[in-house]
Chain A
Amino acid sequence: EIVLTQSPGTLSLSPGGRATLSCRASQTVPSTDLAWYQQKPGQAPRLLIHSASIRATGIPDRFSGIGSRTDFTLTISRLEPEDFAVYYCQQYCCSPRTFGQGTKIEIQ
């Protein structure tokens, strides 16, 4: 099973700030098979990025992803109030599909 480790656990930032989230895999994940999700309290996760760097439909361009092999990054260039949430990475190359434990972005 591929283990995804996200860091940091919590990011305390202000609106307008820049968020950089890391996702490290225990073994190589093809860049085509890595996604990022946003989850707000009481809601299902929402797909932001697939294939490591491709924004899902309707996702604003302040969200960007990059990475390869075992190291992937999600960047939010200018935090909007609605971006304060928990973010998860997921690999879907291999079974079982696995998720990271999440990074919470909170308002500083």
Chain B
Amino acid sequence: QVRLQQSGPGLVKPSQTLSLTCAISGDSVSSSGVTWNWIRQSPSRGLEWLGRTYYRSKLYTDYAESVKGRVTINPDTSKNQISLQMDSVTPEDTAMYFCARDDYSRGYSAGFDVWGQGTMVTVSS
């Protein structure tokens, strides 16, 4: 059974960097049959996809335009986890953050089938 366990601070000061990790069990971060995604949810923005990382003979990463340049998603094969780093946060980045797996094992996406438990991040001084 695949599980995603999130960790990271729940409070970040404005202008600082938000850092979260998502530890993967039951699957591999370097698997070619999945992508690993970060999504956030807030009352004002709803569910917002931030970006993803995945391997298809080499590493790929892509980001939503709304956060491109401010967000970095990295896989860590030694720890079998992914990370999210968001720079220069503001109170508008206050949200519940989720990691999720997108299953491509059938050769096409079958939706985000496994989710982390979520991390509530508040941006406040």
Contact = CB atoms under 8 A, between A and B. Distances in A.
Interface of A: 1, 32-33, 35, 37, 43-47, 49-51, 54, 56-57, 88, 90, 92, 95-102
A32 B108 CA distance: 8
Interface of B: 37, 46-49, 62, 64-66, 98, 100, 102, 108-113, 115-118
18 contacts: A32-B108, A35-B111, A44-B98, A44-B116, A44-B118, A45-B47, A45-B112, A47-B111, A50-B109, A50-B111, A50-B113, A57-B113, A92-B102, A92-B111, A96-B64, A96-B66, A97-B49, A101-B46
Contacts, number: 60
A24 B36 CA distance: 26
A44 B111 contact: no
A1 B123 CA distance: 27
Contacts of B118: 43-44
